[in-house]
Structures are given as C-alpha cells and as structure tokens.
C-alpha cells in the first residue's frame, strides 16, 4: 500500500468520523449517514490494501 493510498484511506476515515459526530450533534441524520459511509469506505480501502500487501508478501516468499 503506497503512501498516497494510506493517506487517502486515513483521510476518508477521519472525515467520515467527523461528519458522523457533527451530524449526530446537530441532529442531521443525512450528514451522519454520509459520515458513516465515508468512514466505512476508508476502512474498506485500508483493509483491501492490507490484504493485497499480505498476498504479495506470501507470493514473494515462495
């Protein structure tokens, strides 16, 4: 996982978490849902790349 990918995933997670909290605090369910979705995208991006990196390590070791 490259630095740009890591930064993008972290940005999605952070922005999503912020939107979620702001949406909850201001009683704006649309913003809260948008934040939850963006946070999930960040986690999925990170997980996908973690799996890809692990697979490459396994292949390289063989």
> Taking a C-beta distance cutoff of 8 angstroms, is the pair 23, 32 a contact?
yes
Listing DSSP states for the chain in one string gives --HHHHHHHHHHHHHHHHHHHHHHHTT-HHHHHHHHHHHHHHHHHHHHHHHHHHHHHHHHH-
Question: What are the residues whose beta carbons fall under 8 Å from the beta carbon of 51, sequence distance 6 or more?
Answer: none
37 or 48: which leads in pLDDT: 37
Residue 58 to residue 62: CA distance in whole angstroms: 7
For the cut 90, the answer to whether the pLDDT of residue 49 exceeds it is no
Can you give the residue ranges of every domain in the chain?
A: 3-61
For the cut 70, the answer to whether the pLDDT of residue 62 exceeds it is no
Average pLDDT over residues 7-24: 96
């Amino acid at each position: 996982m490259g630095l740009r990918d890591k930064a993008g995933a972290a940005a999605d997670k952070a922005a999503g978490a912020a939107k979620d909290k702001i949406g909850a605090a201001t009683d704006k369910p649309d913003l809260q849902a948008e934040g939850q979705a963006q946070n999930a995208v960040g986690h999925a991006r990170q997980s996908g790349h973690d799996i890809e990196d692990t697979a490459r390590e396994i292949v390289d070791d063989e």
